[in-house]
Amino acid sequence: MSGFKPDHAAIAALVHEEFVQADLRERAARVVEVAKTNAPVDTGRYRDSIHAEDGPDGSVLIVSDVDYAAVVEYGRRNDSRPAHHTIANALDAARD
């Protein structure tokens, strides 16, 4: 008896289909909106830098391109800067 054999190439190609890309971009827009709403604001540079961009493999990435984004997201062990987990929390909050 032969078992199910998935077509891995076809599955990998799905992410490049227009309907999948449209869905990913819509979801990414929700994540960006939630992240910007909940971002800590000092100057506003971090909040304003949060955006979605196309990944190299068909993914959509949520990023902040300020040089201190990792400190805002993860905090610092050796001083009083707490982790905000802005983007991680937005990913959780924007789920259907």
DSSP one-letter code for 72? H
Residue that the structure tokens 């068909």 belong to: 58
Backbone dihedral angles phi then psi of residue 26, each to the nearest 5 degrees: -65, -45
Residue 52 near residue 77, CB atoms below 8 Å: no
- Provide the phi-psi class of 5: left if phi over 0, else alpha when psi is between -120 and 50, else beta: beta
Among 57, 35, 31, which Cα is nearest to 48's?
A: 35
pLDDT (tens digit per residue) in 25-36: 999 999 999 999
Q: What is the mean pLDDT of the chain?
A: 91
Reported confidence tier of residue 95, pLDDT bands at 50, 70, 90: confident
96 pLDDT more than 70: no
Report the predicted TM-score, pTM, of the whole model to 2 decimal places.
Answer: 0.83
